[in-house]
Structure formats: structure tokens, C-alpha cells
Amino acid sequence: MIHEKSPYLLQHAHNPVDWYPWGAEAFRKAHEEDKPIFLSAGYSTCHWCHVMERESFENEAIAAQINRDFVAVKLDREERPDIDRIYMLFVQATTGSGGWPMSVWMTPDLKPFYGGTYFPPDNRYGRPGFGYVLQQLAQAWKEQREKLVSSSISILGELESHSQVQSAGTEIERGAFDSSYHYFRRTFDTHHGGFGQAPKFPRPSVLDFLFRYSVTAKEEEAREMALTTLREMAKGGMHDHLGGGFHRYSVDERWFVPHFEKMLYDQAQLASSYLEAYQVTRDEAFADVARGIFEYVLRDMTHPEGGFLSAEDADSVIDPANLHEKGEGAFYVWTMEELKQLLGADRALAFAQKYGCRENGNVDNDPHAEFTGKNILFLKDSYPAEEFGKERQILLEARSKRIRPHLDDKVLASWNGLMISAFAKGGQVLNERRYLDAALKALGFIRGRLMVDGKLMRRWRDGEAAVAGFLDDYAALAQACVDVYEATFDEAQLAFGKTLALSMLELFEDKQNGGFYSTAGDSDELVLRLKEDYDGAEPAGNSVAAGALLRLAEYCGLEPLKEAAGDTLAAFASRINQQGVTIPRMLCAVLESQAPKSEVKFTGEAEPLIQEFRKHFRPFTSVHWDRTGAASAMVCEDFVCQPAVATAEELSQLLGPTPIVSSQGNF
């Protein structure tokens, strides 16, 4: 594995386990030696993946067990989400839960028969020990093979039947949106924002839906749920108050103690959510959070050539004198003594009062004693804490001298698409050219490095583009092209988006039943071909594809794109009606497809008018610009156009009243 490019695989290259990357060599070895395959899937910034490596994969005795009885395969689930999704579906179906590291045992023909997630090295935490599991499965393979194979075939059949998504002539009901809204209303945490109880994950696709539902249904409470969630997240320890950006999730209900890894897809989607909150409210605090995300990504997660890098680890070095000992969030936490040394006693005490720091540490519920005597910064009251800007800068500079968490520096097409969209929107809404330039540079990087012989690759790292692109790669980048077009009015960006969309139809569309498979149909490595249908930490490829196709069809006038979008929504109609809450990003696409036609046409030197338009939250409005003639803007709704106007004030009146900043003011 030392020759692989994946940072995750390279992390395991020196384990005593005889790992193989997913591929023909491993499969051939399993057949020749008549051994089952042990698949371990994870990613390089995964905390529990590191734990299982230290406890089991670096353990000589356990490694000997694996090497004797199994063919061991390591998979980077970020590079190969197609494989990961299939076996994660199996794990969830057979155990009731999922997560990483994912551990699956399968036949040499890749049919799974047993799975789980993290296994401790011996019996603990109510989980069977990994060594015991290995022993039992090796024995079962020798003595009960027919039973294992039969059960795996049966389970795969059930998974295939349950994963079928196709049109059955069902119409999408208006009540689907109302029932989804009421579900989110029932599960909304009125005190801390977010939905449900701890742990709390950001799920921006829900916020996308609530903002759009509030427009179509004139439901202010939907908007306020989204705004409250964004306010409380910004105040919490999940938000990096010094360096900008957000950690993966919060282990508690109040966004205080995070799981400290930072993922590019979270930064991208949350930046877009904060921009929309700013448009809705004109509250500068929302814009401030979005700027913090963008500055973090530009500073710490951008390749010199423009592509955006994938993630930063949750674990980091605790003591520079001991580089091998790492702890969760060590890079981010502070003792009171450190604050006093850096800020001076008086300012340190004032800062501590604002940011919830205490002499003996501020994490009371610390089951693994990771934060003893340490403080996680969070705002006890309103955001932003403008009076402490100097102090934050001092701490950021001091923190930058610490040993940074591991950086996963691969460039993934789909995550870059999401981030390009966010930067393009940031350039528009915040009127910041640097953000638009970042979007353009990243899109140029994708075109120059990840397009190979007209085909999109998923991953680039260290000079190598690899892994044929999946549905979510094509969809996210097609969507990004539309967002960049709306920021630049450059037809070349739209043309690239159209090319990606047409390739997407060719490679992934289910012509018979509608919707898109996650993978192309030419792979013999996959025991199932799935249609992704859950908007979780990342939006599902089908959801993004439907929205991107609708917008491209509006601008390009290509009927096949509009038809494919309609077929996708029809294929998911039953899911939308019965479980719309699982695919809120697709609900947004349905709302877009049903919204009355809305467009604004600019002419001449219209930059001030365009900038006025961008201050407003108009999610279903297309924009056009003819640079000839006198400066003007014409607003057309449902095929009825208002007289053209020439000033920003007149356009603002046509677009709707200036929003009133929420009564809560700065959060």
C-alpha cells in the first residue's frame, strides 16, 4: 500500500496487517487461498479509525490472526463511496447502526456475511473483542460456509429490493412539504437550535428546505428554526472562534463539545446556509460567520493551484516533546494559565468570562478525561464578541505555532463542487471578489487536473487523478457551474456545466425508471447498484442532480435536462410523500420545479442593480444580463413583467421589503 495515494491507506502501510487496496489482486488472492475477505473502511481524519488501528491493527497477535485466516483490504471511503455505501447498507441492515471504521467480512465473490463498525481488541464497552470475532468467523468459514454464503445471498437480495427507487405513477403531494415541516417543528430544540437530542450534527440540507418552505408557504416559524440553529451553532464550541470554520458535530445538545475534525463538505454547506441567513435577515453576524469559513478554507484547506483539500483530523499532538501521543482537539483547547500568559491577567479574565473558560477547565462531562484542565471556547451570550478581536488574533497566532492536526490533502470532485458553489455565492452576496476568484481558480483546477480524456475523475492527489467520477461528483460540479455563471454571467461556465450534465445522463441515468444510479454501469466490482436517497452530512447525488438539472435547463433551454429532472422527482415521489424528511434537498428541487417562473433581466452597466438583487433571498429566480443598452432591471413573475427600473432603490421595492433583523439582534 506504500504506493497508494490515499492518505488513509498510507497511514496503514506500515501496520503488521498485510493490507491490500480494494482491487483485483486482493480478490484473486482470496479465491486462490480460499479465504474470506476482511474489509476495513474509513478515512484519514476518523478518530475511531485511529483508535482501532492503535489497538488492533498495530497489535502483532491480532495482525497474525488476520493474515492467517483472511485477506485484509483497506478502503478509503471518501475515494470509493460507491463500495462504502453498499457495505454500510449491509451493516446498517444487519446491526441497526453504522459508522466508521466499518468492518465487513465477505466471500471471495464480495458477498458480505458479517459486519460491524469499531471493535475493541477485547470484550469491553458491551462489544465483542476483535480477536474473538476473528476467531469465530474463521471457524464459521471452515465449518458453516454454506450457511454463511446462503445468508449473504439472501441479505443482498433483500437489500436490492429495498433499494429500488422507481416511478409508480405517484404524484407528489403538497402535503409532503407540510408534513416534513411539521416533523422538523416537532423535533426542533427551541433552546439550543438543531433537531433531536445529542449528539447533534449539522445537516444544512434541512436548513435549505426550511428557508425555501418559509418563502413558498409564508411560514415564518420555518425561517426562525433555521436562523436559531445557525445562531446557536455559531456561539458553540463546534464553531472555531479563532480560525473560522466548523467541526464535524457536537457530542452534546448545545453545540459545546465538538468532535474536532473539520470536513470540507461541512464548510461548503454551512457557508451557503449562513449566506442565506444573511440575505434573509441582513444581520451582519451571519455574514461574519460565512467570512470566517471562507478565510479558514483559503488559509488552511486550499491547494496552491486552487483545488480545495478534504479534511483536518480531530486528533492532534498534545505535547511537542512526544509526537506520537495525540488527543482529541488538543490543537484547539486552552488552559487558563495559557490565556493569562498570552493576554495578560486582566484581559484573560474578561476573555474567559465571555468565552466560558474556567480555571480548572470547562468540560464537566468528560468520560475519557480528554479535556482535564482545558477549555473549549464558546460564547456564553451574544455573537459576535467584537470587543475581543485583538485577543482572538493573539490566540490564533499562538495556536498557529502548535503542531497542526493531520491534513488530508486529496482533492475530491464532489466536495470541491460544493465549495465552489459556496465561494461563488460568497462572492455575490458579500460583494467580495476574492471569494469569486477562489471559485474560478478551483473550477479551473478541476478542469485542468480532474478531467481526463473528457471524463471526470473523483480524486486528485500528488499529481495523480484517479477513480472514475460518481454521480455526486458530476452533479455537484454541474451545480457549481450554474452558481459560477450567476456570479460571472460567463457562458463558458454554463457550457461546462451542460457538458457535465449530459455526461451524467449518459453514465448514471435509469432511463426506464427515472433517477440516477450512484455509479456507472460498467463496474464488475459492485454486488449492488444503488440510487442514493438520503441527504445526510452530504446531500444525495440524486437530490443535487435534480436541482442542478432544473437550473441548467432554465438557462440552456435543453429539454432533455428538464425531462431528466422531472423523471428523477417522479421516481422519488413515493419517498417524498412518505419520508420527505430524509431528502430535504430534493424537497428543495421539487419546490423549485413547482415555483412560478421568476426572472430578473439586467441590461447595460447594471452592476449596482445586480448587487442590489444579490442582497435578497430569491432562491427560485433566474438572472440574465444583456450588457448593451441603458442600465436597467426588469422583474418578471409568472410571465408578467414589471416596467424596467434604473435604480437600486426601485429594484429593491420590486423584489420585496428590506428584511428586518430578527428581534434577537446579534446572536
> Which H, E and C letters describe 532-590, residue by residue?
CCCCCCCCCHHHHHHHHHHHHHHHHCCHHHHHHHHHHHHHCHHHHHHHHHHCHHHHHHH
Confidence label for 134 from pLDDT (cuts 50, 70 and 90) = very high
378: alpha, beta or left, given left = phi > 0 and alpha = psi -120 to 50?
beta
Residue 168: the pLDDT is 65
Cell match 441567513: residue?
277
Query: H or E segment at 640?
Result: strand 640-641
Residue 162: the pLDDT is 67
3-state secondary structure of 168: coil
Confidence label for 659 from pLDDT (cuts 50, 70 and 90) = low
> How far is it, in rounded angstroms, from Cα 511 to Cα 598?
30
Q: Are 219 and 259 in contact (CB under 8 A)?
A: no
Confidence label for 666 from pLDDT (cuts 50, 70 and 90) = low
- Which residues are CB-contacts of 587 (< 8 A; sequence separation ≥ 6)? 176, 177, 180, 209, 212, 213, 576, 580
Locate 318 and state its grid cell. Answer: 498534545
Residue 178: the pLDDT is 97
3-state secondary structure of 297: helix
> How far is it, in rounded angstroms, from Cα 27 to Cα 12?
19
**Of how many residues is the chain composed?**
667
The more confident residue out of 237 and 366 is 237
Residue 661: the pLDDT is 53
Confidence label for 155 from pLDDT (cuts 50, 70 and 90) = confident
* Residue closest to 501 by CA, chosen among 543, 442, 564, 445: 564
Locate 584 and state its grid cell. Answer: 430535504
3-state secondary structure of 516: strand
The more confident residue out of 587 and 164 is 587
- The mean pLDDT of 330-354, rounded to a whole number, is 97
Confidence label for 284 from pLDDT (cuts 50, 70 and 90) = very high
Q: Dump pLDDT digits (tens) for 402-426.
A: 999 999 999 999 999 999 999 999 9
Cα pseudo-dihedral 131, 136, 137, 142, rounded to 10: 130
CB atoms near residue 164 (< 10 Å): 11
Q: Dump pLDDT digits (tens) for 626-651.
A: 999 999 999 999 999 999 999 999 99
Q: Are 348 and 336 in contact (CB under 8 A)?
A: yes
pLDDT at 665 over 50: no
> How far is it, in rounded angstroms, from Cα 13 to Cα 118?
20
Residue 524: the pLDDT is 72
* Residue closest to 633 by CA, chosen among 598, 656, 606, 596: 606
Complete DSSP assignment for 208-252: HHHHHHHHHS--HHHHHHHHHHHHHHHHSTTB-TTT-SB-SEESS
Q: Are 106 and 112 in contact (CB under 8 A)?
A: yes
DSSP H helices in 328-452 = 336-343, 345-354, 389-399, 413-429, 433-445
* Residue closest to 264 by CA, chosen among 51, 537, 485, 475: 537
Locate 394 and state its grid cell. Answer: 493573539
Q: Dump pLDDT digits (tens) for 54-109.
A: 999 999 999 999 999 999 999 999 999 999 999 999 999 999 999 999 999 999 99
Cell match 471578489: residue?
433
The more confident residue out of 492 and 381 is 492
Can the peptide bond before residue 101 be classed as cis, meaning omega within 30 degrees of 0?
A: yes
Cα 456 off chain centre by: 20
> How far is it, in rounded angstroms, from Cα 29 to Cα 39?
14
**Amino acid in position 274:** Y
For the chain, give the percent of residues with pLDDT over 90. 88
165: alpha, beta or left, given left = phi > 0 and alpha = psi -120 to 50?
beta
* Residue closest to 70 by CA, chosen among 15, 129, 136: 136
DSSP 625: E
The pTM of this model reads 0.96
Q: Dump pLDDT digits (tens) for 453-467.
A: 999 999 999 999 999
> How far is it, in rounded angstroms, from Cα 280 to Cα 610?
17
Confidence label for 157 from pLDDT (cuts 50, 70 and 90) = confident
Locate 206 and state its grid cell. Answer: 434541512
Can the peptide bond before residue 199 be classed as cis, meaning omega within 30 degrees of 0?
A: yes
